[in-house]
């Protein structure tokens, strides 16, 4: 009985450690601000548009922005975020979800299962019903897939700066 209690206690400590590691990993993968002038800030708003009151600001190239993906509205253009304890809405064109601590995104995927004469279309939303916004050739490995996914579709960027939704059937991880 004593041995079983010790085993359960050890399992509890291991679980707590695993949760701590997961939290640290999530923090390291938090988003960074991009495309904001060095003399400006990214304003956090009380709602999903510039017409809402400012509730906070995030400096240019700042990292550690936590994005609440399920809150995103207007085709994913505005999402609720948390930065240094302040919550608000930001326009996602200024957020790099795949950024590292320097704010530079690293490619993590390639285009696969696309015929050599065809392209993979990036869409304005997570379905073929949305308009085409950019394309990637077969074998292209400058794809940065974000954690923003709906079903089999995820939002991705290219190294050239194009962004849109892609069907993950045509993406292979690096």
The CATH number fitting domain 109-173, selected from 2.30.30.40, 3.30.360.10, 3.40.1350.10, 3.40.50.1450: 2.30.30.40
81-123 tens-digit pLDDT: 888 889 999 998 888 876 544 344 567 789 999 999 999 999 9
DSSP helix/strand/coil, 153 = strand
DSSP helix/strand/coil, 137 = coil
Rounded to 5 degrees, φ, ψ at 112 are -130, 165
User: Mean pLDDT score of the chain, rounded to an integer?
Assistant: 77
User: Do the Cβ atoms of 44 and 83 come closer than 8 Å?
Assistant: yes
Query: What is the reported pLDDT for 105?
Result: 52
Q: Classify domain 31-96 by CATH architecture.
A: Roll (2.30)
What residue ranges do the domains of the chain occupy? 31-96, 109-173
Residue 15 has pLDDT above 70, yes or no: no
pTM above 0.75?
Answer: no
What 70-77 contacts at long range (C-beta under 8 Å, 24+ apart), as own/partner pairs, is 72/148, 73/48, 74/48, 74/49, 75/124, 75/125, 76/125, 76/148, 76/155
**Same fold across 31-96 and 109-173:** yes
44-76 tens-digit pLDDT: 999 989 999 999 999 888 888 888 877 777 666
């Amino acid at each position: 009985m004593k041995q079983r209690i010790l085993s359960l206690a050890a399992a509890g400590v291991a679980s707590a450690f695993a949760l701590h590691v997961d939290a640290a990993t999530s923090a390291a993968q938090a988003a960074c601000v991009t495309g904001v002038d060095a003399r400006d800030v990214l304003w956090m708003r009380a709602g999903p548009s510039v017409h809402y009151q400012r509730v906070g600001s995030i400096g240019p190239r700042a990292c550690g922005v936590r994005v609440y993906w399920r809150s995103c509205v207007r085709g994913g253009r505005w999402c609720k975020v948390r930065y240094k304890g302040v919550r608000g809405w930001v326009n996602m064109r200024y957020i790099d979800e795949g950024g590292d601590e320097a704010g530079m995104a690293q490619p993590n995927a390639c285009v696969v299962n696309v015929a050599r004469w065809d392209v993979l279309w990036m869409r304005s939303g997570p379905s073929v019903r949305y308009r085409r916004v950019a394309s990637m050739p077969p074998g292209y490995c400058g794809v940065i897939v974000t954690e923003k996914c709906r079903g089999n579709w995820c939002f991705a960027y290219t190294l050239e700066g194009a962004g849109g939704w892609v069907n993950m059937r045509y993406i292979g991880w690096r």
